[in-house]
Structure formats: structure tokens, C-alpha cells
Amino acid sequence: MVLKILSLPGIVNIIKRMDEGYSPRWIVFIVDMVIVEFSLFLAFLLRYNFELADYDKIRFYIGMITILVVRGSLSAIFKTYAHIIRHTSSMDIIRLVASVLIGSLLLLASSIIGRIIITFPVIPITVIIIEGFLTMFLMTNMRLAFKFIFFRILTPYRLSNPVLVIGTREKAVFTREALEIDRNIKNKVISFIDSSNPQKKKRLAGLPIHELNELEFLIVRHRIASIVLAKDDLLESEKEYIASLCKDYDIKMLYAPESWLSGDSTIVEMKEVTIEELLTRDPINLDKTHIHQTLHNKSVLITGAAGSIGSELTRQIARYNPRQLILVDQAETPLYDMDLELKERYNISNCNIILADILNKDRMEKIFSFFHPDYVYHAAAYKHVPMLENDPIEAFRNNVIGTRIIADLADKSGVEKFIMISTDKAVNPTGIMGASKRMAEIYVQALNAHSETSYITTRFGNVLNSSGSVIPRFLKQIREGGPVTVTHPEVTRYFMTIQESCQLVLEASVMGTGGEIFLFDMGEPVRIADLARKLIRLTGRNENDIEVQYTGLRDGEKLFEELLLQAEPCKPTHHPKIMIAERKPYNYENIIEHIDNISLYATSQDEISVVKLMKKMIPTYKSQNSVYKKYDIN
């Protein structure tokens, strides 16, 4: 039976059965055990110059039983037989080697103990060492031979999907292995590509390494079908260069799944790189260890958790293993989708989904008293400038009163830190939205001096590809053939990716001690008209195809954004992209009185009085392109 299995026709038959979808794990286990016994037999022959005396035969028979038990048990523990042979990866080989080494150590220990304590014929130490090397060599090469026969002999070699992998680290090697597993697609990695090859290596895992400037040559020569990014620190300019070539030659640009980057070669669908992701800036470095120490095993509450910022904060915080997440939002469907994503994609079970309005004080108080959060990230806010300009009362209620309710409950519940997400529109506000966020900033700063809770504010500009931002709107207009509408040829904005902004929020929340307004380095401001033209180019078109049309500034809209009041200097932190605004103290009682007065007019739906009192509380609030400009305080 064993000889039949190990014969060439037997091996071919096994592989064919694997090709038909079978998974004969018991056969793999039997073959492994046959290899173990054969290795032991050969080790005895080598040790005794191919002449076994009767005494040595007794040792051999005892060794056969002992080694079968040890190797078989470890094979079951490490599951070295459980993977599909034709898809053997480097991680499978590592598990196999670990199993053999541990088995050899156990056998050596038992041999030494038996020699000292018990008087029975033990397996010689030299035999154990030889057997270990032989077993490791034969098991490894058996798997590689099966893989070679399957892909190179039984499978007709057809290069239907030539691929280039960007990267030259271990991640790139894992990605190559995973790509070539799926026989139906027939991926074939041609080369690794890297812009930074300090060691000037020529080859990696048997494949050539090429410079980034050789990319176009390789695309043309090998008729490349797709390019896979297995490098997470690509510069913006490098991404743009790769994307432009992909557009020119109609090539897919794909991300390697995170599971591949950690060595798991399971076949999963790759995500195509989107236009929005090509607008990201150079990657930033975070003190992840410090963030982990802060958030690990803590209870974290996030308001606005189903929104653009709130949902990304949730994803990033979840990676630091908090004790529990409390996600609050009034948007039912997005909150439900967020719950599904966390369970299915991130396998998070310690998550509490709460459908609630932050203005419902009784409901929020019950949530705080039940969950006792350690950290609160307040991302719930109304943000659309033209809409809020038409409805100042709702802007005030949600952005100011809502913040006050959550901030007060954080104080009452003994929350360790309260982190508020603010905006650059709060600086010298020109509209209702910015003014309402400025009032919220002032309130939490004033409350900080009267509470054991540390109140921290983070302020940054526009977020790329957030809901309602210009990027999705521009792309929709481009898909429809144009025109792309921009309010003014000179209008500029600061931009950040959602991922980057949330990373900096976490960093600031860790370093903050209370009362600070953290400002993020948004880079250089971007002219919206230039951004529109860049998007047109990235979609493979030009301005002759898609017109850029100017529509005029909207109500309450600024031409330029500022991150800091001119009268407020800022100081650096240990992170090069985070600064702290130096703030004057606020009188808490006066702030409470102002907000209470505005609340009375908001309750009676007196919009004009609400706006007048907001301008009185914030002297720098000067309306632009708004019916409220006549109420400015000079």
C-alpha cells in the first residue's frame, strides 16, 4: 500500500485528485510518517556503517515506535499535514521545520534521560540528529516537489496574467506566493519593483529586482496585466507615477490584502487602487506603542461613529484592543453597516452599537452611566457650510448644545479624556458652521479648568473623500462628462486623508493633558481648481474633454482657510506634524451665560437673535456671502 502511494503513478494520481478539489490530508500524514520511519532506518544504517547487530535492531524497533508517537503527535499539534500541498507557502515550511526541531529536542532529551536513569536500549544521539536532518529535508522537498509537479508539469504553462509586485521586503515575497496560488487566474509574477534598493540586490526569491524607472519598459516588454502594491511607504510622487502608467497602458493597480502581508496566502479578492487614494500625502510616523499603552483595555466611546471621521477612528482604535467600544450615532443604516464591518472584517466582538441622538440628554446620561467610558472621542457634528448657513438654530443646537451635553456627561462620569474633533473653519469664522464649532471649542476649554477630565481639541482642514467632500462630487461630474464645478478660481483649502487625520487625532489624544487645541500640519494649501484638473488627468482625460466651470462662492464660504487665529501663537510638540495653540483662559460662568441666552432664542426659533449673540460671543466671526453680514460687530 505504502509503496503504491509513493510510486510515480501514485504521486501523479494524488496530485490529480487534488486538482479535482479533494483534500487528502490523511495521505499527507501517512506519507510524512513513512518519511519519518525511512529517515530513522537510514540514520541507523549511516550510524552503524550499514551493518545492524541484533542489539542495534532492538534499538531500531523501539525507535520506530517512539519516533512515530513523537513525530505524529507534533504533526497533529502543528497541523503540518492540514494545508493543501500544492499551495505550500513559506509559513507552512516554517511550521514544518519547527515541528521537526521540537521533535528532535524531545527525542534527544528522552535519550539522555533514558541513558542516565533507565536501563533500556535508547536511540543513539547521533541517530536522532541524522534522522532530524533527513526528516526535515525529505518532508520539505516532498512538498516542494508536489508543488512543482502540479504547477509545472500537470498544469499547462500559460502566462495569462503577468504581474509586477511593488516592494522588495518580506511582504512582497508573501504577496508573490499568494498571487501564484490561484490556478484559475494563472498569475505569474515577473519581477519585484522598488525605488529604494540600498543593498543593490539583483534578485529576490528567485526573481529579478528592477528600479522604478524601469517600470514602463517592463510593462511593454512583458505585457503586464496588473501591478500589485506590497509596500506601504510609497511616496505620493511614486504612486502618481505608477498610476499614470496604469492609465496609459490600461493596467489594474491593486493593493495586496493585509492578510498576505503577514504571510497568510489564502486566496482573497484584491482591492483596486482608487483615484481618491492617489491623492494621499506622504505617510506619517506614529508612536503606536504609546497609543497602544493608552487605549489598550480601555472603554472608548465615539460619537458620530458612523460618519467619515468617526468610522475611521473606530477602525484605528479597534486595532489597539480596547476593552470595549461604544459607538453612538443617530444614522441608523450607516451605524448598522459599521457594526457588520467590524464583526466581519475585523472580527471585533466587544463593540456596542448605540442608536441615539446626542441632544437627548437623558438617553446619553444612561449610556454614560451604564458603560463608564474612559475616553470619549466627540466626532458628531453638522458640517455642510451652505446648509447650516440656512439653518443657524440647528447648527447651534447640534454643534454647541450637543457638545456641551457630551462634555458635561464626561465630567460627571469621571471620563479620563474628552477629545473633540474641530475644524479650520472655526478660525476667524465666516459662516454659521465655523462659528458654532468655535463656540464648542471655547466651551470645552472653559470646562477643562473646572473638571478632573482632560478636555482636548483637535483642529484640521478638509478630509479627502469624506462624505460630502469635493472629491466624490468631482469624480461624479467627470464620469458624467462634465463640467466640473468650482466656486472660484482662487479658492484654496487644506486637505488631509481620513486615515492621516485620525492617526493624528489619536496621537494628540495621547499627548494632550487638557485645555489644548492641537493643530495638524496640513501641508501646503491646495487650489481647488488645480485639484479638479489633477482628478481629470488621473482619470485619463484632459481639459479639452472635461471643462472646469466657476460658479461663485456660496453663502458663508471662505476664499482661504486658516488653522490658527493670528493673535494666537503656537508651539511645537515632539511630533513634527502636531502643534499646540497657546490659549488664554476663559471664564466658565460667562461662557455658560452666553450659551444659555442663545439657547432661549433657539427654543423660540429666533434665528436673527441667535446669530447676533453668536457674533457677540465670537468677535472674529465676520460673515461672507451671507445675509447675516449686516449683523457683524465692528
pLDDT digits (tens, 9 = 90+) for 191-242: 888 876 555 667 787 788 888 888 888 888 888 888 888 876 777 778 778 8
Same domain, 98 and 242: no
Spatial neighbors of 508 by CB under 8 A, at least 6 apart, are 419, 456, 458, 516, 518, 520, 578
User: 492-493 and 548-550: which strand pairing?
Assistant: unpaired
Same domain, 418 and 505: yes
For the ranges 68-77, 169-178, 533-542, the lowest mean pLDDT is seen at 533-542
Q: Which helix (H) or strand (E) holds 226?
A: strand 226-229
d(CA 631, CA 604): 19
Residue 59 lies in a domain: yes
Last residue of a domain, one of 250, 273, 296: 273
28 vs 362, higher pLDDT: 362
d(CA 162, CA 186): 8
d(CA 623, CA 556): 6
Same domain, 482 and 427: yes
Alpha helices in 125-235 (DSSP H): 125-148, 170-179, 215-222
Same domain, 24 and 48: yes
User: 375-378 and 417-423: which strand pairing?
Assistant: parallel
Domain that holds residue 187: 161-273
d(CA 331, CA 307): 9
Last residue of a domain, one of 273, 307, 342: 273
d(CA 82, CA 89): 13
Q: Provide mean pLDDT across the span 479-506.
A: 82
Residue 264 lies in a domain: yes
Q: Provide mean pLDDT across the span 34-52.
A: 83
To 10 degrees, the CA torsion angle through 429, 434, 440, 445? Answer: -40
Is the model's pLDDT at 4 over the cut of 60? Answer: no
Looking at residue 453, its pLDDT comes to 96
Q: Provide mean pLDDT across the span 168-185.
A: 74
Q: Provide mean pLDDT across the span 293-304.
A: 94
User: 187-194 and 207-211: which strand pairing?
Assistant: parallel
Query: Could you write out the DSSP letters of every residue in 126-153?
Result: HHHHHHHHHHHHHHHHHHHHHHHIIIII
360 vs 284, higher pLDDT: 360
Alpha helices in 413-525 (DSSP H): 432-448, 470-479, 498-511
For the ranges 139-148, 197-206, 303-312, 504-513, the lowest mean pLDDT is seen at 197-206
60 vs 602, higher pLDDT: 602
pLDDT digits (tens, 9 = 90+) for 587-600: 999 999 999 999 99
CB atoms within 10 A of CB 149: 17
d(CA 86, CA 146): 6
Q: What's the DSSP call for residue 419?
A: E
Same domain, 465 and 537: yes
pLDDT bracket for residue 278 (50, 70, 90): low
Q: What's the DSSP call for residue 398?
A: I
Kindly state the percentage of the chain with pLDDT values over 90.
26
Is the model's pLDDT at 127 over the cut of 90? Answer: no
Looking at residue 76, its pLDDT comes to 84
Looking at residue 2, its pLDDT comes to 45
d(CA 299, CA 368): 11
Which amino acid is present at 79? Answer: K
Residue 495 lies in a domain: yes
- Pick the closest to residue 577 from 592, 563, 558 (CA basis): 563
Looking at residue 280, its pLDDT comes to 55
- DSSP-based three-state secondary structure for 457: strand
Spatial neighbors of 406 by CB under 8 A, at least 6 apart, are 303, 358, 364, 376, 378, 380, 418
Residue 634 lies in a domain: no
158 burial type by CB count under 10 A (0-12 exposed, 13-18 middle, 19+ buried): exposed
Same domain, 532 and 462: yes
Looking at residue 469, its pLDDT comes to 66
616 burial type by CB count under 10 A (0-12 exposed, 13-18 middle, 19+ buried): middle
- Cβ–Cβ < 8 Å for 379, 313: yes
Residue 593 lies in a domain: yes
d(CA 97, CA 99): 5
Same domain, 85 and 183: no
Is the model's pLDDT at 464 over the cut of 70? Answer: no
Name beta bridge partners: 566: none
Mean pLDDT of the chain: 81
Kindly state the percentage of the chain with pLDDT values over 70.
80
Q: Provide mean pLDDT across the span 130-154.
A: 78
pLDDT digits (tens, 9 = 90+) for 56-105: 677 778 788 888 888 888 888 888 777 666 666 677 788 888 888 998 89
CB atoms within 10 A of CB 3: 8
- Pick the closest to residue 41 from 109, 135, 107 (CA basis): 135
User: 578-581 and 517-520: which strand pairing?
Assistant: antiparallel
pLDDT digits (tens, 9 = 90+) for 24-34: 677 888 888 88
Return the CATH number at 180.
3.40.50.720
Name beta bridge partners: 189: 163
pLDDT bracket for residue 345 (50, 70, 90): confident
Same domain, 238 and 382: no
Q: Does the bond joining 483 to the residue before it have cis omega, within 30 degrees of 0?
A: yes
d(CA 495, CA 486): 16
Is the model's pLDDT at 292 over the cut of 60? Answer: yes
Is the model's pLDDT at 288 over the cut of 50? Answer: yes
Alpha-carbon 304 to chain mean position: 20
Residue 633 lies in a domain: no
572 burial type by CB count under 10 A (0-12 exposed, 13-18 middle, 19+ buried): exposed
Is the model's pLDDT at 438 over the cut of 80? Answer: yes
d(CA 248, CA 324): 47
State how far the alpha carbon of 220 is from the alpha carbons of 190, 191, 340, in Å. 12, 13, 43
Same domain, 202 and 304: no
327 burial type by CB count under 10 A (0-12 exposed, 13-18 middle, 19+ buried): buried
Same domain, 28 and 87: yes
Same domain, 104 and 171: no
Residue 283 lies in a domain: no
Domain count, the chain: 3
Is the model's pLDDT at 260 over the cut of 70? Answer: no
Last residue of a domain, one of 244, 273, 302: 273
Which amino acid is present at 208? Answer: P
Same domain, 181 and 150: no
Is the model's pLDDT at 18 over the cut of 50? Answer: no
pLDDT bracket for residue 1 (50, 70, 90): very low
196 vs 376, higher pLDDT: 376
Is the model's pLDDT at 432 over the cut of 90? Answer: yes
Top-confidence range, 89-98, 313-322, 488-497: 313-322
